[in-house]
Structure 1
C-alpha cells in the first residue's frame, strides 16, 4: 500500500480541529461565535414578566406597525431572536415593524415563580398590551408561538379585543379533541390530564431539564440525528457556526421550567375539558370564550407538526365564529416554524406581508388564505413529505407506514376508549342507584359535599359572568345552615323558598337539604297564600325581589341574597329576619345537628304547580330526587367536561331534578340563567362553554325565533334535555343547532318512572325507561269511566302495541300505597304506582305520551287525545303554538284546537288537512281556529283558554265526507252554537 503524506496530514488536522472544537464545547457549552443578539432594552419589569423593546433606537417610533410577541412557557423569550438578524425580530424590524417581546423569565429564577398559574400569564400579556399601546399609540399585532399563541387568544378574549389589531399564532392548538398529539384517544388523555392536574403537577415542579428531555423524547430520531451530525462535523467550525446559536438553544439554553399551577390549569381547562374550543375557560373567576375575538386572525400551522397538529390549530375557526380567520401552511415541524431556515425563508416574510396587508393595504400575501374547516389531510400529507423534510428516507418511510397503521388503530382504540369511558361513568351511577335502600343517606347536600371533598377547587356553577368553586359554594351552604339554625329551623320542618334563579337560591335549597329540612319550592308571582295553606309552610325564605310578596302572606320571612345592589325597604322584626346579617362564626351549633342526615325514604322537596282549583303539591323524596339526578347524568352522559345551562327555573321539576340534579350527579358545571333572554343566552352559551341546555315545554321557541344562533353558526352545545317540547319545535331545534340532539325526559312525580328518548330519532317520543328506574307497564284504561278493564282473572290487561293505556311504575319497597298505589295488578300481592298520563307503546318499544287523565277530550264520538293533535299541528311550519280542548255544542262535546301563527307565515285549510293526515279521523279536532296569541305559564307551557271559534277565513271545520278541513261558515256556527 502506497504511503500518502497528504492524507495523513489532513487526517491529523481534522483530528486536531475536532479535539479543539470538542474541548471548547465541553468548557463553554458550545462554540464561541461573533453573532450578537439583536439589541433591546427592558422597558418594564413586573413580577410576572419583563417587556423587551427591540431596536429601541430605531427612528420612526409611533409611525410603524407594532408587533408584540409572546413565547410559550417552556421556551425562552430568545426564541424570537435565535437566528439573530435572520430571526423573527430581525426580519420584522427590517420590514418596518416595531417589535416588542414578553419575557416571562424562568420560574426557577423568579420570586414565587413556581406558584404562577395560567391566569398570571394571561393577565401579564394583557398588561403588556396596555403598556405597548400606551407607549406607541398604536394597536398591537399580537403574536404567539405554541402556548404563547394560546395566551394571545386568551388575553385578547379577556380584553374583548381592546388594543389588538390582529392575532398571529404558530402551531397553537385550539381544539384538542380534533388533534391529539400522536393520535392518542382523547377520552384516555382527558382522564389522565385530569388526574395529573389534581394530584401530580401541583406537587411536582417541571424543571428546565425535564422540559428539555421531554421535548427531545417527542422526536428521539431527530434528536439523535442532530447530535450525530454535530459530532460528524465537529472538525468543520465554519460549517457549524451558522447553526451554533440554534443548536445551543435547543440543547440547553432555550428551555425554562414550568410551574405546577400553570401546568395544572393547562391540563384541566384546555386538555381535559377542551375549553379553548368550547368556551368557558376561567381567568380569575371570570369565564371567557374565544367567541369574543373579532379582529383578523392568522393561524400558521406546520404540516409535519405532531404537537400543534393542523386539525387542532384549525379549531380556531369554530371557536372564534365572529372573527375573520386565515391560515398559512408551512412545511415544518413545531420548532422549525418559528426558528431555522424555513422560518427565515417563509414564515417571517409571510408574517411581514400579513401586517403590510392589514396596515398598508397591501395585497393578501401568497400562502395566506381564508381558513376552511374541512381539510382533506389533517395529518402529514404523505410519507414522502416527511422524507423531504427530514432527509432520512428509510426512517421516515417506516414512520409513514406507521402513520397509516396508527390511523387504523387509533380510530378503533379511540372508539373503544370512548365507549369504555361512557360505560365507566354510567356503571358507578347505576350501581349506586341500585344500592339505595329506604335507610340510605342520600340528598342534594350530601352529593355537593362529596364533590367538594373530591375536587374542592373544581368549578361548580357560573352566574353573571362569575365562576364559583365547590369549596366556595360549600362554605356558603354551611354558613346559610348556621343562619337557619340560629333562627330555629329544625330537621323535617317545611320551609317555603320563593326566589329567582340565582346562587343564593341554590344555596338555600342545599342548606335546607344539609340541615334535613324540606324545601317547598314556590314560583315567584304565584298564588303564595294558597300554596302556603296547601303545604303547611310557616316560614318562607325569599330574596329581596320577592320580599314584599312574601311578607304579604303573614308568615315569618327570612331574606337571603341580593348581591352588591341589595337594599331592603321593609323594616326588620320578629317576622322578618335578614340571614345575611347573621355572623355564622358566632352561631353555636347544637348537639343534635348532623350534616346531610336525609334518608332516601324521607321527604326532600315539595313542588307546587298549577293555579286556582288545579293547584297541587307534588312530594319528592330524597330517593326520587337521586333517581332523576343519576338517571339524567347517565342518560345524557354528563361528566366534568360538561357545562349545563339551566334555563328552567329551580322551582320547576326540570330545573330541580334534571338541571341541578343531573349536573351534580354528573360532576358537571352548572350555569344559572337569570331568565329567558335570547340575547343573554347567545352570549353566555359561548362565554360559559355551554354543552348541555335544559328546557321546559316551549321555552326554546323564543331562542329560535330570535335567531341568536342562525343555522350553521358554530356553537358548543351538544345536547338539549328537558320535557314537554312539541314535535315541530323539536325539529326546528335540531335543524338550527345541528349537530346537537334533543333528549326528552318524562318523569312521574308520584312513582319512580323515568323515560328518556336517548337517541332523539323520533321527535315527540318519550323513549324508554332509564336503567335503574322503575319497571313500567301499560294497562288498558277507559277514559270515560276512569276504570282499568280486567281479564277473566280480574287482573289488569296489558296493552297491545299502539293501544292507548295508563302508564304504571313498579312501586319501590316501603312506598305508601295509600297515596294512590295499586296492589294485585298482574299477580296477587304485586304493587304499582299509576302515573297521571296515558301513553301508547310502538312496535319498537318506545313510549309516546297521549294525554293527561284530566285533559282527555270526552267527545260525543269517544275519547280524543290532545297530545297527538298538538304535535301534528306544531309540526306545520307556519304554526307557532297550539292547544286542544273540549267545547260544548248542539252536537255534543267537540274537540277544538286553537293555533297561533309565526310572524310572516300563513296557514290554509289544505295545510291543516295534510298536517293531520296521519291521525285517525276519530282523533282529529272538529274545529281549528287561529288566535292572535296563546299565553304560557311560568314554565312556558301553553295555557288552554276554551274560546269559541268565530266563523270566517281563520277557522275551519272537519268534514268527514270529504276528509278535509273547510272554512267554518256562519251556517256551521249557527248549527253548533244556536
Structure 2
C-alpha cells in the first residue's frame, strides 16, 4: 500500500491549518522581511520626510545619484514604496544609483487636526518637502507620485511653476477625470453627482482606513475575489505564498489609512465635478493654479487595464500641460500593479531609474518610453470597461465573446450619450426659465438678492477671481453686507442714485452689489467719458470712487465716498475735503435702521443707469430689475452656465454688456467670475489657463486686441468653450472660432430696454443674431418698405408680418415697464394689442434665424435703391483677409454714394474678383458704390468701429486698394482718378 496517498493529503491539511492559524493570529505569514533603512530628515505636523539608504556621514560618503521624491495617495500608507525591500521602489532605485526620498503624510486620524486637512494642505506640504530635498542634495528633484499622489505631483509642480523640479513621474494619475471614469460611469452625470457628494456627504463625514480599503477593492471586485481564492487554494504551500505575502498583507490591511472629509470634498468638487486639472483655475490656499505652468519633462506610467487611472484620463496631461515634454510608458497591469508586484519590479522601476539617468545626462531614453500623442478633447466615455478587466483575467476564447459585448455596450453608450447630455442641460435650464417666466412687476428680484441666494446655497463656493486670488461667495457676501452698513452710515437710502466711478476690480463689483442690496440705484459712470454729463443725466446725489479716480470725482460738486484700493490707501486729503473713506467705517458699530430690508428691489424698480454715446452725445439707459433679470437669466440659460464654469469678464463693469452679460449671467449661473483689467494680450492666455476660464465675454471688436497682437500665441490645450457678447464682426468671429477650436460663439442682440433679446446659441451661422431667447418677450417682424420708410399693412389694416428673407422692423411685445421714450404701437396684429418698435431692421431666414440688416434711421438711400450697412459688412467680413468693415454714406453734390471701408488682417489683401463675388448676391439690399481699404479704424470705448471719422474724409481717393462698382458688369474695378471724378460729378 502506498502510504503517500494517505500522508500527502494529511500533510497538506496540517500545513493549511498551521498557516491559516498564523494568518488569523498575526494577520499574515511571517516572511522575515525587514524594511529598508531610512532617516527622518524633517518632521512637522503635516508630514515626515524620509531619506532611504541615507549616506554614512561618519565616513563622509554621499550618494551620487539624483534625488527622487515619492508621493503616496492620501488613503494609502507611505510604506507602499517599500512593501518588499528587494522588489520595492526604494530598493530598486537605490541599487540603480538613485537617491530615494519619501514624503509620509501619516494617518490623519492619529494626528491632531488631521481630519481637517485639505488637498491644498498636501500640495503646500509637498512643495516645502521639495525645498528641503533641494537644500540637502543641492540638486533638482524628480517628483514621483502614484494615483492621487501623482495628482499632487502635478498640482505642486504647477503651484511652484516647476521650480527646482527635474521631472515628474506619475503612475496611473488621472488628469482629465471626465475623459474616462472608473466603472465606465458616464461623464455627463459625474459633475452633478460629485457636487452633491462633496456638499452633502463628505462635508459631514470622513473615510476611515477600512472603508478606504473596501472602496479600493470594490473598484475591481473580480481581481479582489480572484486574489483571495488563489491565497486560500495555496494556503498549504508556504513557499509559494511568501514571495507575495508582503504585498497581500499591505493590500488586505496594513496599507490603508483614513481620509479627511474636507480633502475628499475638495477632490470631488475641484477635480471631478469641475475637472480643473484640465481647465486650470484650481485654488491652493487662495492662489489660482493651472497645470499649463508646468514646463519640466513628464513621464506618465499607464496601465492598459487600469480602471482607476484610466489611459484616456492619464493622457490628459498632454493637453493640460502644453509646455511640458510629455512621455508615456505603457504596461499591461492594473492600478496597484503599476508600482507594486512583479511587473513593477521588472518593468516600472527599472524604467524609472533609466528615465532619471537619461535626464541626468548619464544614459539613453528608456526602452518603451515614447512621446505622448495628443488626445482628443471630447469625452468619449469609453474608458476601461468591466469587460476589459474580465478579459485581463480570462482565457483567450472568452476574450472574443467579451469583445462582442464591448462593441454592443459601446454602441449603446454612444446612442444614449446625447440624450443624457440633453437631460442634464434641460434640468439646469428649465428652472431658470421657469423663474424668469414668473417675474412680474411686484416680484422681488435683483442682483443683490441672487448673490445672497448663491452665498446661502454654496458659502464655500468660489465666486470671484482677480489678480491670481480667489474669493468665496461667503467672503464676497460678507463684504457686500459690510459696504451696505457703510452706505447706511453715510445716509444712503433705498432709491438714492449713487454714481460709481471705479475701475474693474472686486471693490467695484461689491459696490454695485451693495447698492442693489440696499435698493439704491447704481449710476455706472464711464471713467473715460464726460463725467459731469453722466452724473447730471443720472441725477446722482453721491459718488463712490476708488482711490485711482478720487481726483476726478472730487472735481464734481458732490460728496465722494472712497472704497477699495488695495493695501496702499494713503489718500492725502485736506481737512476740509468733502470725502468719506468708507474703509474707515467699522460695520460692526453701525446700527441698522428700522426701514432697512435687504434686497427690497422689485422687478419694476430702477436698478442701474448705464450710458452710451449716440452721435457724440451721452445718452442715459435706464435698467430696471426686470431688464437685469431678463439678461442675467437669459445669458445663464443660453450659455448653459453652471458652477463648473469660470466667466472671464473682459468688458468693464460700467458697460451694459459687462453688467448684464458677464457679471449677472455668472451670478445667476453660479459660475466663478474672473475680473480682468481689459483685453491685454500679454495676460490673456496666461489668465484663461490660470483661472480655468470656460466662458469669455466680449463686446464688438474687443477680441481683436488679443488675437491680432503679434505676440499672441495659443499652443496646446485651453479651457474655453464659449465666447458670449454682442456685435462681433463676422471676420473676427471666424478667426476666433478657428484659433480657439472647439470653442463656440454665442452672439446676443438686445435692445437697451430689454424688450427684445435674440441669441445665436448654436453659433452655426456666423453673423446671425439667432432666435428669440426662451423665457424672454415675444418678437415679430413687421413688413417694411425701405424706399418709403413705411411699415406695411394688410387688407384689414393690421400690420403685415414679414415673409422669410423680407426686410422687417423688429417689434417686441412688452413685458414689464415700457421706456417712456420707446415707440409704442397699438392695434398691430390684433385689436388693442401693444408692441414696441425697436427701430432695427432684420430679416428672418428659412430656418427662423434673425439677421440684423440696419438701423431704420441709418439706411443708405442711393439712386439704385437702399444699401443696408450690416448686410454689406457681414458679406465682406467673411473674406479671410478682412478684419472689420463699416459702411457709410457720402453726400456729393446732392447725390448719395454708399462707401464700405475695410480694415485688413496683417498681411492680408483683397483681389477684386473676391470682392465682386462676396457682394454679388446679397440677401437684401444693394451693394456699395465704392469699397476701399483703410489702415485702421477708430473704435469707441466699447470697441465698436466708427464710420464718422471716415465720412468726414469724403469720397475715398483713387488707389490700388480702392474699387468702384461698374454698373454695366456689376463687378468691382480699380478706382482711378478719372472714375472718381466721374462719380463725384454724376452720382
Distance in 2 between residues matched to 1:920 and 1:809, nearest whole Å = 24
Encode CA deviations 1:142-199: one digit per residue, 9 max, x unaligned.
0000000000000010001101100000000000111111111123222111111111
- Secondary structure class of the residue paired with 2:109: coil
- Name stretches of at least 5 consecutive residues in structure 1 with no aligned partner: none
Q: Deviations over 1:325-351 (max 9, x none)?
A: 000101000000100001011111111
Alignment of 1:48-63 (within 5 A): 48-57=46-55, 61=62, 63=64
**Aligned length, in residue pairs:** 975
> Which residue matches 1:33?
31
Q: Is the 8 A contact 2:318 2:375 kept in 1?
A: no
Select which of 583, 586, 608 maps to 1:583. 586
Name the SS of the counterpart of 2:86 in structure 1.
helix
The equivalent residue for 1:458 is 461
CA distance in 2, matches of 1:385, 1:117: 33
Structure 1 residues 380 and 782 mapped into 2: Cα distance closer, same or farther (>3 Å)? closer
Structure 1 window deviating more from structure 2 (334-343 vs 410-419): it is 410-419
**Partner SS, residue 767 of structure 2:** coil
Q: Distance in 1 between matches of 2:839 and 2:348?
A: 68
Residues 623 and 21 (structure 1 numbering): CA distance in 2 closer, same or farther, change over 3 Å?
same
Alignment CA distance shift 1:220-1:901 (3 Å): closer
Further displaced range: 393-402 or 173-182: 393-402
Mapping 1:484-563, distance limit 5 Å? 484-563=487-566
Tell me the SS of whatever aligns to 1:873. Answer: helix
| Residue 25 (structure 2) pairs with residue 8 (structure 1) | no
Residue number in structure 1 paired with 2:232: 231
The 2-side partners of 1:394 and 1:871 are apart by 62
Contact 2:181 2:383 in 1 (8 A): no
Contact 1:712 1:736 in 2 (8 A): no
Say which is worse superposed, 932-941 or 816-825, in terms of deviation.
816-825
Q: CA deviation at 1:778?
A: 0.5
Q: 1:859 aligns with which of 862, 870, 887?
A: 862
Change (3 A) 1:283 1:8: same
In the alignment, what sits opposite 1:720?
A: 723
C-alpha distance 718-766 of structure 1, shift in aligned 2 (>3 A):
same
Distance of 2:240 and 2:265 partners within structure 1: 43
Unaligned stretches of 5+ residues in structure 2: none
| Residue matched to 1:176 | 177
Query: Does the 8 Å CA contact 1:328/1:367 hold for their aligned counterparts?
Result: yes
Q: What's 1:372 paired with?
A: 373
Q: How does 1:958-973 map to 2 (within 5 A)?
A: 958-973=965-980
Q: Is the 8 A contact 1:197 1:267 kept in 2?
A: yes
Describe the superposition over 1:87-124 as per-residue Cα deviations: whole angstroms up to 9, x where unpaired. Answer: 11111111110000010111111111111010010111
Residue 18 of structure 2 aligns with which residue? 20
CA apart distance, 1:773:
0.5
Three-state SS of the structure 1 residue aligned to 2:858 is: coil
SS in 1 for 2:247: helix
CA distance in 1, matches of 2:358, 2:174: 25
Contact 2:806-2:924 within 8 A present in 1 as well: no
Match of 1:903 in 2: 906
Q: 1: CA distance between counterparts of 2:381 and 2:799? A: 62
Which of 421, 429, 432 is 2:432 aligned to? 429
Corresponding residue SS for 1:344: helix
1:242–1:870 distance in 2 versus 1, CA, 3 Å = same
Bigger shift: residues 456-465 or 619-628 = 619-628
Instruction: Name the CA shift for 1:816/1:385 in 2 (closer, same or farther; >3 Å).
Output: closer
Partners of 1:334 and 1:211 in 2: how far apart? 15
- 1:869 Cα deviation from its structure 2 partner: 1.8
1:247 is paired with a residue of what secondary structure?
Answer: helix
Separation in structure 2 between the aligned mates of residue 66 and residue 113 of structure 1, nearest angstrom: 28
Deviates more, 1:566-575 or 1:33-42: 566-575
Distance 1:402 1:420 in 2: 26
Q: What does 1:775-924 correspond to in 2, within 5 Å?
A: 775-783=778-786, 786-812=789-815, 815=818, 819-890=822-893, 892-919=895-922, 923-924=926-927
C-alpha spacing 1:336/1:111, structure 2 compared with 1 (3 Å)? same
Task: Map 1:625-644; keep pairs closer than 5 Å.
Answer: 625-644=628-647
Partner of residue 739, structure 1: 742
Q: Please say which of residues 452-461 and 742-751 is displaced more in the overlay.
A: 742-751
Aligned partners of 2:682 and 2:712 also within 8 Å: no
Which segment is superposed worse, 927-936 or 652-661? Answer: 927-936
> Does the CA contact (< 8 Å) of 1:445 and 1:510 recur in 2?
yes
2:351 corresponding residue in structure 1: 350
**Corresponding residue of 2:95:** 94
* SS of residue paired to 1:738: coil
Greater Cα shift, 616-625 or 530-539: 530-539
Separation in 2 of the partners of 1:290 and 1:936? 36
Q: Please state how far the C-alpha of 1:215 moved relative to its aligned partner.
A: 1.4
- 1:457-511 deviation digits (Å, cap 9, x = unpaired): 0001101000010000001101111111111111112211121111111101101
Secondary structure at 1:654 match in 2: helix
The alpha carbon displacement at 1:398 in A equals 7.2
Structure 2 CA distance for aligned equivalents of residues 563 and 259 of structure 1: 35
Post-superposition CA distance 1:811-854 (Å, at most 9, x none): 12564667432211111111111113111111111100011233
Q: Deviations over 1:250-284 (max 9, x none)?
A: 10000111000000000000011100011111101
Secondary structure of the corresponding residue to residue 806 of structure 1? strand
TM-score after normalising by structure 1: 0.96
CA distance in 2 between partners of 1:789 and 1:408 (Å): 54
Matched residues in 2 for 1:327 and 1:48: separation?
A: 32
Deviations 1:209-266 (Å, cap 9, x if unpaired)? 1011111222222222222221222222111111111111010000111000000000
State whether residues 208 and 256 of structure 1, in contact with CA within 8 Å, keep that contact through their aligned partners in structure 2.
Answer: yes
TM-aligned CA deviation for residue 690 of structure 1: 0.7
1:882-911 per-position Cα deviation (integer Å, ceiling 9, x unaligned): 221111102601111222233223334334
CA distance in 1 between counterparts of 2:938 and 2:285 reads 42
Matched, 1:954 2:964: no
Cα pair 1:142 1:167 within 8 Å, conserved:
yes
